Amino acid sequence: MHSVKLCPSMMCVNPVKLAETLRTFEDGGIEYLHIDVMDGHFVPNFTLGTDYCKALHNISKIPLDYHLMIEDPEDRISWFEIHKDDVVSVHAEATRQLQRTIDRIAEAGGKPIAAINPATPLCAIEEVLPYLWGVLVMTVSPGYAGQKLVESTIGKIRHLRTMLDERGYENVRIEVDGNVSYPNMQRMREAGADMFVIGSSGFLTTDDAQTIAAGIGEFRKIR
């Protein structure tokens, strides 16, 4: 089983305290900074953009976990500055060219992840498994922080882990995003997830550095 990686959701970080919060993440050994990029079409919201991601690369060494909730991502991969340890997820529902999008992420030096919404079946990503670094199982409908878990996604994580292992894709990671509270993370881990996006249901309920540090310590207890 892959080791647990914690990926705090940057849209849930108070921008006024960005530098201080990044230091807390570095001290806590945070593996990835999760960046929600929303285009107002694929999801009903706008969030973080290309300049913000560049700024993060300049002020932190933690790799980025781009979550592109944008239509036709194949035409926009080149807009992002992708560093060698960065991971990039694109939604299977957002492109008619999933293979091409994955290829472009890999060509740009990133690690490709295919993301699927709660209502999207696992077969949507079956054919691209040989080309993936990971699969992102959305555990809420993407667009907003602070939503409630879609229960059926726990069973979906379990089915995906079994499918990956049975077909020889043990190396493919499973990321989960949405309502990753402490008890939900325990259930998701038990089902086979290894990358956890932590937002307003996790240790980003506050912008206080000490409280966030304590939260990271708590969440690290889940192994």
Contact positions vs Zn ion (CB under 5 A): 36, 67, 177
CB 166 to ligand DX5: min, Å:
29
Cβ(75)–Cβ(39) below 8 Å:
no
Among 5, 6, 11, 203, binds ligand DX5 (CB under 6 A): 11
x/- contact string, 100-139, with ligand DX5 (CB under 6 A)? Answer: ----------------------------------------
Among 199, 203, 212, 215, binds ligand DX5 (CB under 6 A): 199
Neighbouring C-beta atoms of residue 62, cutoff 10 Å: 19
Of the residues 27, 85, 177, 194, only one is catalytic, namely: 177
Q: Using the rule CB under 6 A, is 178 a contact of ligand DX5?
A: yes
| Rounded to 5°, angle at Cα 91 from 22 and 45 | 65
CA gap 201, 215 in Å, rounded: 11
Q: What is the 8-class DSSP label of residue 39?
A: B
Per CB under 6 A, contacts with ligand DX5 among 20-49 are 34, 36
Strand order in the sheet with 134-138: 5-8, 195-198, 173-177, 134-138, 111-116, 87-91, 64-69, 33-38
Packing angle, helices 209-219 and 18-27, rounded to 10: 30
Q: Using the rule CB under 6 A, is 67 a contact of ligand DX5?
A: yes
Q: Using the rule CB under 6 A, is 8 a contact of ligand DX5?
A: no
36 is catalytic: yes
Catalytic residue list: 36, 177
